A and B are shown apart, each in its own frame.
Chain A
Amino acid sequence: MPPSHTSASFEELALPLLPALFSHAMWLCRNHAEAEDLVQETVSKALRGFDSFEPGSNFKAWIFRVLRNNFLTSRTGIAAARTVFLEDHPGVADSSDLRPTPEEHLIRLDNQAAVNEALDKLAAPFREILLLCDVEEMKYKDIAAVLDVPIGTVMSRIARARRALQQLLQPQFRESL
């Protein structure tokens, strides 16, 4: 291992990310024990493959990618990966309605329980990208690296994910009128 790739530097980089990795694993697995196993396995694999981490690049994006790949090869992950997204296929135009809706104008998000419920109902890949962007505050290029998709796909998926989340919140909004 070169000096910059010592296991000590791995510990220094990985230790502060454990809470974020666990939280993300929880969202993926929805089970405490499975999430903990997933993080443990991720740390183990990331340490073994630390040689492949490029110094100067984003370690957080790198280890999140390891986590995601681990999840996708797990039993739960294989089932979750079956979802196909139209925008991931070239040539399919963004057909979302660009007209703003009154709900979108005035949507109130002070009901956190409703937001949580909507997040739960959101399709897994939509939820995943919003978590990487809004919770982990990753840049689009890092999200692209984690998800192994082009930046254009990241942009369109984020837009669709937020649109879908807003639509899930609309019934709640109507009730509060």
Chain B
Amino acid sequence: VTDHVKWLIVIGVSVVALAATALVGLVAWQQYQARQSTASAAAIISADDWAVGARIVFRNTAPGEGYGRVASVPLDDPAGARAVTEVACDRVDATTDEFSCLRTERSIVPTYSATLYANDGVALQTWPLPGIPSRTRLSDDGTRIATTSFVTGHSYAAIGFSTETVINADDGESFGNLENWAFVVEGAESAPADRNFWGVTFIDDAAFYATAGLATTGGTYLVKGDIASLTLSTVAEDVECPSLSPDGSRIAFKSKTGGTGPITHWTPAVMDLGTGEIVPLPESRNVDDQIEWLDDDTILYGMPRAGQEGDYDVWMLSADGTAQPEIFMEHAWSPSVVRP
């Protein structure tokens, strides 16, 4: 084969490969544009009074206009028309007057941030995040904001560090990364090198529950955090991503029921804080979300919508394990129940 022929082969393959890529990109771009300009797959109403009354605040994932933005529906009509705001978030949690928003700032190289918004859309505080948003929770009085992000801005930086969970106050003060807090394991102060914390759920503005994970063994603890003393103490084992019930008596969480590493299978479960009794819930699918309580009897969680990348549904399940899961809201993610 002569040099001439060799170059022809290289150029030919390059042209075909790059042209095919351009074609795929063009089609994807057109499809994206078409989706953006089509009406939302969910009914939308004016957002003027989006934050009044008992409501669900969530991330709208209905394809079409308003995709990815914070929205609300009345608590008694979750399938009803949505009031969609202008604020886009990956994760959201809301109280009566404000909401916490974690987002990926799209640009030629993305950055990540957490913002506390007043309901009128005014940003009250903003913090940079070191990586992709994972979880956020507000205390009921709105003065404490917890954020969890993955410290993997780039996969090569991933080794040894995976999550960063920070507690901030609404006045801008920070209580810092939970990894720097005192960690008490079964009564004894400890500092395992591979500890990681994620999934905060507030008890009040002074205390919270969260997950402590040990990367090496894959084991997890339910920990109770005390903000005044910056101390985390273990409460129970194998409880991940806790969510405290409105009456404060139970923890809903992800229970590891199979697999390991990236193919772990999690099933929702509920633990009674008084007795330690655990009720596994009848959900056969893998649930990788921080659960939200609709009321003292029902939990909510997001699931990817089958066959529709980037779209999710919120499912509901009876907290005593007596009923099968059913869809609570279509095209929604990161639900937050607000009762003024």
Answer whether A and B are interacting partners. no
Q: Which A residues form the contact surface with B (CB < 8 A)?
A: none
